[in-house]
Amino acid sequence: MRLLVVEDDPMIGESIQRGLRNTGFAVDWVQDGEAAGLALGNGVYDMLILDLGLPRKGGLELLGEMRARGNDLPVLIVTARDAVDDKVAGLNSGADDYLVKPFDFNELNARVNAIMRRRSGSGNPAMIYGALTLDPIAHQVTLRGQEVVISAKEFALLHTLMATPGAVRSRAELEEALYGWDEEVGSNAVEVHIHNLRNKLGSHAILNIRGAGYRVSMLNDVDP
């Protein structure tokens, strides 16, 4: 899952980006509304985390333009503006949630996951596919009831595949979901993560569809 953070305070922006990356998200960070508008034009993001008091273009203006264009990307406003009128304005402009600074990172992470659950129409955060369960809240993977310890990038890759278990995801799509702009991507990084997941989940856990990409397998049929 790839997120865009729009925050003009370097300390807060860097902290949000680092924290979300550590939980397995790919995160890009820009510091003004104009840069955010350009970044959103790429159409690669799953959520926007948006400050309101931004240079060049304010957060509410950016949000209003998005919704006017029919862009329904989930938006979490994160701002120091704590007045009820500001919250009402943000939510009425199309935000999915509103978080006031200062905040605890665990709450930010929980709100991100809650928005994605609501957007997917599921009250249960866990993704279940055959004998494999991935819980994005607990950041836990279990296979046949036994916990499997995997890295943050492996978790993010598996999360991406399990979000659309029947679909084939190309290597480029997986790189996009795993890495932000400023993260160095090795030429075989995706293949390495898939190799590690197969070692932990089973040799046929992730299928290589020749010339197309990868998809997760129904793990009931995978060798233990």
Token reading at 222? 């995978």
Kindly report the CATH number assigned to the domain that includes residue 68.
Answer: 3.40.50.2300
Do 206 and 145 lie in one domain? The reply is: yes
**Residue 219 clears pLDDT 90, i.e. is over it:** no
Q: Could you say which of 120, 154, 169 is where a domain stops? A: 120
Do 80 and 47 lie in one domain? The reply is: yes
Do 179 and 198 lie in one domain? The reply is: yes
Higher pLDDT, 88 or 136: 88
Length reported for the chain = 224
Give the domain extent around 94: 2-120
19-28, 51-60, 122-131, 214-223: least confidently modelled range: 214-223
Tell me the whole-structure pTM to 2 decimals.
Answer: 0.77
Higher pLDDT, 175 or 24: 175
Do 57 and 145 lie in one domain? The reply is: no
Do 114 and 94 lie in one domain? The reply is: yes
Do 183 and 77 lie in one domain? The reply is: no
Kindly report the CATH number assigned to the domain that includes residue 180.
Answer: 1.10.10.10
Q: Could you say which of 101, 120, 139 is where a domain stops? A: 120
| pLDDT tens-place string over residues 105-163 | 999 999 998 898 787 665 566 888 888 998 887 788 999 889 999 998 899 899 889 88
**Residue 91 clears pLDDT 70, i.e. is over it:** yes
What single string gives the DSSP state of each residue in 165-213?
TTS-B-HHHHHHHH--TTS---TTHHHHHHHHHHHHH-TTSEEEETTTE
Instruction: Write down the number of H helices and E strands in the chain.
Output: 8, 11
Residue 222 near residue 204 (C-beta atoms within 8 A): yes
47-61, 101-115, 163-177: least confidently modelled range: 163-177
For the chain, percent of residues with pLDDT exceeding 90 = 60
Token reading at 96? 């999915």
Do 146 and 96 lie in one domain? The reply is: no
Select, from the ranges 6-10, 174-178, 208-212, 213-217, the one with the highest average predicted confidence (pLDDT): 6-10
Do 102 and 141 lie in one domain? The reply is: no
How many distinct structural domains can be found in the chain? 2
Q: Could you say which of 120, 149, 176 is where a domain stops? A: 120
Do 47 and 136 lie in one domain? The reply is: no
Do 6 and 116 lie in one domain? The reply is: yes
Do 215 and 188 lie in one domain? The reply is: yes
Do 170 and 96 lie in one domain? The reply is: no
**What average pLDDT does the segment 209-217 reach?**
90
For the chain, percent of residues with pLDDT exceeding 70 = 95
